[in-house]
Amino acid sequence: MMPLGDDNTGRKSVPIVTYLLIAINVIVFLLEMSGGEEFIMRWSFVPSRFAANPVGDSVTILTSMFMHGGAFHLFGNMLYLWIFGDNVEDRFGKIPFLLFYLICGVAATFSQFVSDTSISIPNLGASGAIAGVLGAYILLYPSGKVAVLVGNVVTSMPALVVIGMWFVLQFFSTLSSMAETNPGEGGGVAYLAHMGGFIAGVVITFIYKGISGTPSGTRPTV
């Protein structure tokens, strides 16, 4: 099941920050392609390296958020950011949304880091920050309709179902990875980062809704 888009009829502004984040991710990926392994190792977040020198390596907490392991990794993340980021940005506002995105990315990185500080495999990707965006979306637009591709059929489902299914998959994948003898030793998907980013997104949005008194939005069928 792959999301294709959501309804934007209630959006009041152009999602400049979302578009900018997508552009930065694409540009950094092109730099990765030209810089090769040396560039990736320098700017990715490596748990063991950070544990040994947290101050000197702190910049990688940010830079790793804009890096990707391949074109498919980049495409999948940017698709989710493009679909769900614009409406969350519209509700939060430009600068608050940018800060929200970065905070979720940092939370995701440290969720993975605390699971094993000795791993020397580079961690990279926008997935954790985007998971935070999904967490915000499911609180702000639980009834919003999302167009999804199921097999060869395009259908419409509530965001609560689409993102809920994503969360369930991440949850059980996290349990599976933690049950491995040496989780993370062989690389792969950092499910703990996804969970950490999502939970951060839910918590921040819950607090934001309480402070602002913002009700959950509803969207007509796509």
pLDDT digits (tens, 9 = 90+) for 24-35: 999 999 999 999
Is residue 217 one of the residues assigned to a domain? no
CATH number of domain containing 173: 1.20.1540.10
Closest CA to 45 of 153, 99, 126, 101: 126
User: How many C-alpha atoms does 115 have within 13 Å on its Cβ side?
Assistant: 26
Q: What percent of the chain has pLDDT over 70?
A: 90
> Could you tell me the residue range of the domain that residue 140 belongs to?
2-212
Is residue 218 one of the residues assigned to a domain? no
pLDDT at 191 over 90: no
Is residue 178 one of the residues assigned to a domain? yes
pTM over 0.85: yes
Closest CA to 205 of 117, 116, 107, 126: 107
How many domains, the chain?
1
Rounded CA gap, 3 and 141, in Å?
Answer: 15
For tokens 């490596």, name the residue.
46
Is residue 222 one of the residues assigned to a domain? no
Is residue 9 one of the residues assigned to a domain? yes
* pLDDT score at 161: 94
Record the tokens describing residue 50, joined without a space.
Answer: 């950070």
Q: Render 125-179 in DSSP notation, one character per residue.
A: -SHHHHHHHHHHHHHH-TT-EEEEEETTEEEEEEHHHHHHHHHHHHHHHHHHHHT
* pLDDT score at 26: 97
* pLDDT range class, residue 178, cuts 50, 70, 90: low
* pLDDT score at 180: 61
* pLDDT score at 172: 85
Is residue 177 one of the residues assigned to a domain? yes
pLDDT digits (tens, 9 = 90+) for 127-140: 999 999 999 999 99
Rounded CA gap, 92 and 81, in Å?
Answer: 15
* pLDDT score at 211: 79
What are the Cα distances from residue 116, in Å, to 108, 119, 128, 171?
A: 14, 6, 17, 18
pLDDT digits (tens, 9 = 90+) for 71-86: 999 999 999 999 999 9
pLDDT at 10 over 90: no
Is residue 37 one of the residues assigned to a domain? yes
